[in-house]
């Protein structure tokens, strides 16, 4: 009997090892499937964070505007929050999700459309990174093997990308708690100071490290996305398929659909373009990047027509953003690719002005 004990232990250990290996093999694909099917609403926290409980309850008779998009839409200082003050007769739901594009929007679309039955859907497009988030710029000579491996895998494993997003959100919240742990509250953002053109020299090292990393991997990234070249043409077609699917899924009677196409900062003012150059961005034709009828926007309109979606209104805030810059108002942050308070106000005006002064009451079937 004593001799059999080690054999029993070995057998048990082998079985435990096999069971562990089986779980390790099974869990990733099961998680990926659950994420894609949204068995659990993985972005419910964002919805609760950007909307009051009252807004998320059943409609109160006002028409509903549902805003979807990435970090330019998400948040309590973005254009949907401003629309609530501008349009008190509307129920504005902010369904923005940071670090996403149309792929993720489609994952939550069915639940969002069923829950809110929007009269107007505004889907915000980001020329800066919608195509890049579809296919990160792998570059084995410039980036670490771990970074390249993650970016390669994330093209197929969207659940992996989601886990990375959640980890980043957790790290950000932790830093915020740490900064506030001394008893003094965090300083609020001054909406006026956001927009001041102070004339200070631009320091490339101060810019968001992530954006500098992207330009190291693909120096022509900005021009490639704006002009749809360098392989980004195929990315656009794949991305546009997701956008069309999202728009078609808003099949609620009389759902008016709008695409809000937000340009890259480098398209808005030469000062931003020069700053991008100092970060390592390269341009073969900077004038083409600065054109108002740029390739990305033209391709969106052409593709909508090709798919029979001519009734989808394309909102282009580029002229208004340029006008604000000419007036000395900063619309993008100096060291961040996001819009300032004044840039968000431009989006607010563009969306608000696209709506009729009165909206017909339509009964939706719940």
pLDDT at 186 over 60: no
Q: Which helix (H) or strand (E) holds 122?
A: strand 120-126
Q: Is residue 366 part of a domain?
A: no
Max Cα separation, the chain? Answer: 91
Q: What is the pLDDT of residue 28?
A: 79
Give the CATH number, domain containing residue 272.
Answer: 3.40.50.1110
- Residues with Cβ within 8 Å of 21's Cβ and at least 6 positions away in sequence, in order, are none
Q: Is residue 65 part of a domain?
A: yes
CA distances from 135 to 5, 74, 129, 344 (A): 54, 22, 10, 27
Beta-ladder partners of 124: 260
Tell me what the mean pLDDT of segment 178-189 comes to. Answer: 48
Mean of per-residue pLDDT scores for the chain: 88
Q: What is the pLDDT of residue 170?
A: 78
Say what the pTM is. 0.89
pLDDT at 253 over 80: no
CA distances from 312 to 256, 278, 304 (A): 7, 38, 7
Q: What is the pLDDT of residue 213?
A: 95
Tell me what the mean pLDDT of segment 320-324 comes to. Answer: 98
Per-residue pLDDT band at 181 (split at 50, 70, 90): very low
Q: What is the pLDDT of residue 179?
A: 55
Q: Is residue 72 part of a domain?
A: yes
Q: How many domains does the chain have?
A: 1
Say how far apart CA 42 and CA 332 lie, in whole Å.
30
Range of the domain at 344: 26-172+190-353
Q: Is residue 181 part of a domain?
A: no
Tell me what the mean pLDDT of segment 208-228 comes to. Answer: 96
Q: Is residue 311 part of a domain?
A: yes
pLDDT at 119 over 90: yes
| Both structure tokens of 195 | 């927009």
Q: Is residue 365 part of a domain?
A: no
pLDDT (tens digit per residue) in 62-112: 999 999 999 999 998 999 999 999 999 999 999 999 999 999 999 999 999
Q: Is residue 303 part of a domain?
A: yes
Q: Answer yes or no: are the C-beta atoms of 289 and 227 closer than 8 Å.
A: yes
pLDDT (tens digit per residue) in 265-302: 999 999 999 999 999 999 999 999 999 999 999 999 99
End-to-end CA distance of the chain, in Å? 70
Q: Is residue 67 part of a domain?
A: yes
Q: What is the pLDDT of residue 364?
A: 45
């Amino acid at each position: 009997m004593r001799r059999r004990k080690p054999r029993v232990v070995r057998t048990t250990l082998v079985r435990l090892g096999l069971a562990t290996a089986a779980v390790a093999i099974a869990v990733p694909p099961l998680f990926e499937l659950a994420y894609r099917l949204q068995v659990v609403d993985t972005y419910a926290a964002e919805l609760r964070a950007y909307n009051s409980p009252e807004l998320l309850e059943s409609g109160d008779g006002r028409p509903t505007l549902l805003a979807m998009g990435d970090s330019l839409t998400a948040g309590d200082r973005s254009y949907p929050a401003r629309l609530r003050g501008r349009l008190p007769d509307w129920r504005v739901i902010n369904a923005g999700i940071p670090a996403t594009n149309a792929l993720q929007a489609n994952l939550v679309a069915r639940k969002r459309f069923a829950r809110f039955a929007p009269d107007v859907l505004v889907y915000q497009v980001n020329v800066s990174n919608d195509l890049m988030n579809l296919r990160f710029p792998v570059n084995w000579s410039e980036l670490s093997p771990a970074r390249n491996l993650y970016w390669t895998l994330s093209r197929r494993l969207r659940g992996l990308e989601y886990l990375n997003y959640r980890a980043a959100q957790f790290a950000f919240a932790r830093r915020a708690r740490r900064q506030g742990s001394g008893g003094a509250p965090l300083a609020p953002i001054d909406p006026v100071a956001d927009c001041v053109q102070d004339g200070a020299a631009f320091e490339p090292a101060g810019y968001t490290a992530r954006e500098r990393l992207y330009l190291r991997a693909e120096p022509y990234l900005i021009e490639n996305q704006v002009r749809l070249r360098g392989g980004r043409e195929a990315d656009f077609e794949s991305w546009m398929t997701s956008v069309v699917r999202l728009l078609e899924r808003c099949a609620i009677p009389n759902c008016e659909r709008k695409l809000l196409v937000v340009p890259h900062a480098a398209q808005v003012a030469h000062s931003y373009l020069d700053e991008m150059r100092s970060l390592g961005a390269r341009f073969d034709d900077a004038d083409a990047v600065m054109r108002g009828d740029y390739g990305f926007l033209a391709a969106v309109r052409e593709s909508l027509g090709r798919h029979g979606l001519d009734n989808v209104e394309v909102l282009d805030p580029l002229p208004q953003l340029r006008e604000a810059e000419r007036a000395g108002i900063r619309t993008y942050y100096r060291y961040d690719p996001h819009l300032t308070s004044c840039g968000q106000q431009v989006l607010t005006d563009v969306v608000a002005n696209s709506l009729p002064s009165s909206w017909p009451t339509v009964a939706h079937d719940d």
